[in-house]
Amino acid sequence: MKKLSTILIALLLTAAATAQVTIVKEVDDMTDEVSYSPSERFFVANNEKTEGFAIDAMLDVEDGMIYVQGWVVVTASLGDCNEDNQLIVLFEDDTRITLNSFNDFNCDEVAFFALDLEQEVYIATKRIKKMRFKNGFSYDVYTNEVEVQDYFIQLYDAIENKNNQ
């Protein structure tokens, strides 16, 4: 029985780690405004999620097509205020991209990043090995391997599937 429980727990953890990202449609019941968001949040953090960061892809619609408008990065234990932040993405093939935040100084533990077309192609097609966030105000740095290496591949596939419906 103990062996069966261990196998079931392992299967549940595997399923949770390989959850498929989908696009969720939300309709504001007060304004009928439609918005879209990824079904899962992307984390680069310690196991307790007390240190590190989360990335929320901000989705928008133009001419009936969903696209990624940018990233909102919410930090934990990386300085109380943010300014001139840097995000480095290292891919499995050892290529990397560096993103610089564009938002003004804030003490909300939030940074905003925009990706150009070339960066989006990398993110949408390459598995991520690890990421680093550097707070340009406090100079706190957090680097960790990512748990779901193909998260953004799944996200862009989900956007394409939703746009083709």
**pLDDT confidence of 19, banded at 50, 70, 90?**
low
Could you tell me if residue 16 is inside a domain? Answer: no
**pTM of structure:** 0.84
Is the pLDDT reported for residue 73 higher than 90?
Answer: yes
Going by DSSP bridges, is the β-strand pair 110-113/65-76 parallel, antiparallel, or unpaired?
antiparallel
Going by DSSP bridges, is the β-strand pair 65-76/52-62 parallel, antiparallel, or unpaired?
antiparallel
Number of domains in the chain: 1
Q: Check: CB of residue 54 under 8 Å from CB of residue 45.
A: yes
Could you tell me if residue 152 is inside a domain? Answer: yes
Could you tell me if residue 115 is inside a domain? Answer: yes
Could you tell me if residue 10 is inside a domain? Answer: no
Domain interval for residue 45: 21-163
Calculate the CA dihedral of residues 151, 125, 99, 70 and round it to 10 degrees.
-60
Q: What pLDDT does residue 29 have?
A: 95
Could you tell me if residue 7 is inside a domain? Answer: no
**pLDDT confidence of 33, banded at 50, 70, 90?**
very high
Residue 97 sits in a domain whose CATH number is: 2.60.40.1880
Could you tell me if residue 11 is inside a domain? Answer: no
Instruction: Please provide the average confidence, as pLDDT, over all residues in the chain.
Output: 89
What are the tens digits of pLDDT across the range 89-144?
A: 999 999 999 999 998 899 999 999 999 999 999 999 999 999 999 999 999 999 99
Could you tell me if residue 1 is inside a domain? Answer: no
